Amino acid sequence: MNRTIVPVVLGAVLLSACSNLNSKPAAPVTASNEPYVSTYTAIATEYSVPNQLLFATDSAEVLPAGHKILTAIAGQVKLKSGTPIEVNGYADTTGRKVHNQKLSEERAAAVAAELATNGVEAARIKSQGFGESELAVPTADSVDEAKNRRVVVRVANN
């Protein structure tokens, strides 16, 4: 499965019926005053945060600056009432692969919980982790690359 994902500390949802959300996204289209990047395709909208960190190295705790960003993303996600949301977590290459897989799952769960806290229906959200399998910035092993510590929020288009 080939995925091109804009670096972010945020993610999107995908239920089993929406497995086609894995298609390659179009070029990013950004709202000028928003703290995130919205990427639109025919089947999904992705929200990511390429210019700010949501997580410190080896952490799944959302950094203080991330709360405001996630609140803004939740506002957009709520506009698409009833649509599935996928929150995909990722990690850099520091640490063991098994650890990074667990960390990416914890990051996705943290963002999913933050979205739910901000009024997004938890039943719409599916969180999952991809470890270091889909690096936003290709690196060698044991490289602390902040852009790879991210979550991407995907919302199916109706």
In the β-sheet with 85-89, what is the strand arrangement from edge to edge? 37-40, 44-48, 151-156, 85-89, 125-129
Confidence of residue 86 (pLDDT cuts 50, 70, 90): very high
Half-sphere exposure of 55 (CA within 13 A, CB side): 31
Helices marked H in the chain: 64-78, 97-117
What average pLDDT does the structure give for the chain? 80
Residue (of 26, 73, 15, 33) closest to 49 by Cα position:
73
Ordered by start, the domain boundaries in the chain are 16-156
Q: Which residue has the higher pLDDT, 112 or 7?
A: 112
pLDDT number for residue 123: 96
Architecture of domain 16-156: 2-Layer Sandwich (3.30)
Question: At which residue do the structure tokens 């919302």 appear?
Answer: 155
pLDDT at residue 8 greater than cutoff 50: no
Note the pTM of the prediction, 2 decimals.
Answer: 0.77
